[in-house]
Each structure stands twice: as C-alpha cells, then as structure tokens.
Amino acid sequence: MSQLASSTATFNLNAPSRPMLARDADSMYWMSRYVERAEHIARILLVNSNVLTDVGDLTPHLQQRQWQSILTIFRLADLEPADSKGDVSVATQIVKYMTFDEKNPNSLLNCIARARENARSIRENISTEMWENLNTLYWSMSEDAPARFEDSPDTFYRAIMTGSMLFQGLTDQTLAHDQRWHFTQLAKYLERIDITSRVIETKFTILRSAEAMLEAPIRNIHWMAVLRSCCSIEAYRKAYSGDMDPLRVASFLILRRDFPRSIRYAVSKAHDAIAAIRRDVNPGAIDSAERVLGRLDAQLEYAEMSEILIEGLPAYLQKLQASIDVAAVEVQKAYFLH
C-alpha cells in the first residue's frame, strides 16, 4: 500500500507539455488551414451551382460575376477570357479550375494535397485517426475522382465537407489540447475569419450593385446562398424569420456571439488559442499576434452594426482582413522562424 502511494507520487500530471519543434508547429498550422480552406471551397462551389440552378433567369453578366466572385474570394486572378466561350463554359471552367486544377494553388485538389503533405511531415505529432482520415480524403481525390464528380458534384463536394469536419472533430477528440492542438485551432479560425469576411465583402458588393434589378424572392435566394456558403442558414433562421435582410445577414455573420461560423466567434477562439500558446511558450509577456487578435476581439465584442455601416461594410471587412494578415505574419515570426 505504502509502495503504491510512493510510486504514484512521482507522477507529475501537471508537467508542462513538451516543447514543440518550430517546423512541426508550422506544419500543424498549415495542415489545419488547408483542411479548413478545402471545406469552404467545396461548400462555396456547391452553393453557387445550386443557386444558379434555382434562379435560372439571371442575366449572363450577373451569372459570370457570380462565378468570378469565387476567384476573388480565394484571391485568384480571373481566368484568361480567351479560354471562355459563353456563360456555361465560364461556370464549367471555374468549377474545374477550383476543383481539380493542379496549377491552381487554391484548388480543392491542391488544398487537400498540401494539408496531407503537412500532416505527413508531422505524422508523429498527430493522431492515427487524424492521419488516416486525411490520407483517405487525399486518395479520394485521385483515381476515379473525376468520374465520381461527373456523376454527382453534389455528393462529391459533400464528401469533402464531411471529411474536413470529421478531421476537425477527430482533432478535438484524439489530440491532447496542448500547444499542438492550439496551433490547429488558431489556424482553423484565422482561415475561417479570412474566408467568411471575403465572402460577405464580395457578395455584398455584387448584390448591392444588382439589387435594383432583383425582385424580392430572387434577392432572398441570393442572401440565403451567402448564408449557405458560410454554413449558417439554419442558425440564421432560428434567430430570425421572414425576409433576408442584407444587413441582418451581415450582422449575423459578423457579430453573432454564440455561433461558430461567425467572425466574432472565430476571432475570440483565435485569440484564446494564441494566448494559450503564448502562455505555454512565454508566460511572461504578450506577443504581437496576441495583441492584434486581442484588440480585434475586444472591438468586435463591443461593436455595433450601425457604426460598421458608417465606415462602410467593405472598408470595415478589408481592415479586418488586414489585421488577420498581420496576426498571421506575427505568428510566423514568433513561433515558426526560430
């Protein structure tokens, strides 16, 4: 009995977590960002195809803008117009480009390949469940993937989204919530903030310019599509009913406190993650990324939609993206480049 007591006393269950290689932290971060990005790409492509089926009678010009806005969201240059012949082919062209094109750094194929490549280089830092999930997702993008895509783009994109979310769930449930996990969270939420804000900004600009021409039902469909692109339609409907008011949609996506897809929620989680990492690594001081995210967090905490509108929504979102970029660069400097 006494032997048992003395031997258990030597276990220090609160020992600080083991330091993490800077390169591993870097890969952990990018693995997580690419998985999150893949999910958004799949969802946005899926939603865009569906919405354009729903509102078949859009002007060709507006249709084209809708498709090109996807490139804008992912910071890609417009495709060479020489390649496009008519409206249908712009759609097909962009869908192909965003799904399977090896030359597009932000195609689904490349995002998943890079996520997996990063995971492979830190295989010993992640769980077997996470690895096998991501590796299987990667292999599902090769072989007969184009054929399965032709059969049903819908099923194809949904499988990617499910795979990505499964990965997030496995990350939560199979990895110790130490520094490694915090890096995945930081990356995931930074990516989510970036894409969500760009979706709102881009769509808001397009729809504003076309609003005069759109009748209420069609307008509703478009704003529902924005919510769908951000995986938020059901949560929004639970909060509000009736027409899709553009400003209400925007304020839901930006300021909602308790919804994981809102910018405010994501900023607050990213702030938590960076603070946890910093406490682990350097308990004494606040680092630059934490400062940027902390300020943003506080600002969103007390923000009012009316104030945002005075500044102008696009301008506000651009400023927010700039802060996120600064935070990402500071994370890199502080933790990856030792």
Partner 1 sequence: MFEQYQCDGLFDEMFVDGNTPRAHYASVANRLAAMGSEAFSRRVRMADMTFRNQGITFTVYSDTRGVEKIFPFDLIPRIIPADEWNLIERGLTQRITALNLFCQDIYHDQRILKEGIIPPELIYGAKMFRREMFHVNVPKNIYIHICGTDLIRGKDGKYYVLEDNGRTPSGVSYVLENRSVMKRVFPALFSAYRVRAIEDYPHNLMQTLKFVAPPHAQDNPTIAILTPGIYNSAYFEHSFLARQMGIELVEGRDLIVENSFVYMRTTAGLRRVDVIYRRLDDDFLDPLCFRPDSCLGVAGLMNAYRMGNVALVNAVGTGVADDKAIYPFVPDMIKFYMGQEAIIPNVPTYICAREADRKYTLDNLDKLVVKATNESGGYGMLMGHQSTKAEQDKFAEMIKADPRGFIAQPVVELSQHPSLIGDAFEGRRVDLRPYILYGEKPIVMPGGLTRVALRRGSLVVNSSQGGGSKDTWVLEEEDGEAAPSPLPAGTEMLVTT
Interface ranges with partner 1 (CB under 8 A)? 19-23, 25, 117, 120-121, 123-124, 128, 131-132, 135-136, 139, 179, 277, 280-282, 335-336, 338
Contact 138, 159 (CB under 8 A): no
Query: Smaller CB distance to partner 1: residue 44 or 134?
Result: 134
In the complex, minimum distance from the CB of residue 19 to partner 1, in angstroms, rounded to a whole number: 4
* Rounded to 5°, angle at Cα 116 from 145 and 95: 40
Query: Smaller CB distance to partner 1: residue 179 or 268?
Result: 179
Helix (H, G, I), strand (E, B) or coil at 204: helix
Helix (H, G, I), strand (E, B) or coil at 6: helix
In the complex, minimum distance from the CB of residue 50 to partner 1, in angstroms, rounded to a whole number: 31
Query: Smaller CB distance to partner 1: residue 21 or 315?
Result: 21
Query: Smaller CB distance to partner 1: residue 101 or 178?
Result: 178
Distance between CA atoms of 24 and 190, rounded to whole angstroms? Answer: 18
Contact 335, 25 (CB under 8 A): yes
Query: Smaller CB distance to partner 1: residue 23 or 61?
Result: 23
Nearest to 264 by CA among 196, 184, 314: 196
In the complex, minimum distance from the CB of residue 1 to partner 1, in angstroms, rounded to a whole number: 26
Distance between CA atoms of 93 and 71, rounded to whole angstroms? Answer: 12
Distance between CA atoms of 99 and 107, rounded to whole angstroms? Answer: 5
Query: Smaller CB distance to partner 1: residue 139 or 240?
Result: 139
Query: Smaller CB distance to partner 1: residue 135 or 288?
Result: 135
Distance between CA atoms of 114 and 110, rounded to whole angstroms? Answer: 6
In the complex, minimum distance from the CB of residue 173 to partner 1, in angstroms, rounded to a whole number: 19
User: How many whole angstroms from its chain centre is CA 69?
Assistant: 16
Q: Tell me the CA end-to-end span of the chain in Å, nearest whole number.
A: 48
Query: Smaller CB distance to partner 1: residue 21 or 239?
Result: 21
Nearest to 125 by CA among 179, 190, 165, 169: 179
Query: Smaller CB distance to partner 1: residue 23 or 319?
Result: 23
Cα distances (Å, whole numbers) of residue 64 to 43, 58, 105: 19, 10, 22
Segment holding 228, helix H or strand E? helix 216-229
Cα distances (Å, whole numbers) of residue 246 to 204, 211, 216, 249: 8, 10, 12, 5
In the complex, minimum distance from the CB of residue 179 to partner 1, in angstroms, rounded to a whole number: 7
In the complex, minimum distance from the CB of residue 255 to partner 1, in angstroms, rounded to a whole number: 32
In the complex, minimum distance from the CB of residue 334 to partner 1, in angstroms, rounded to a whole number: 8
In the complex, minimum distance from the CB of residue 21 to partner 1, in angstroms, rounded to a whole number: 5
Give 330's DSSP letter. H
In the complex, minimum distance from the CB of residue 306 to partner 1, in angstroms, rounded to a whole number: 41
Nearest to 137 by CA among 112, 106, 170, 111: 112
| CB-neighbour burial class of residue 311 (10 A; exposed 0-12, middle 13-18, buried 19+) | exposed
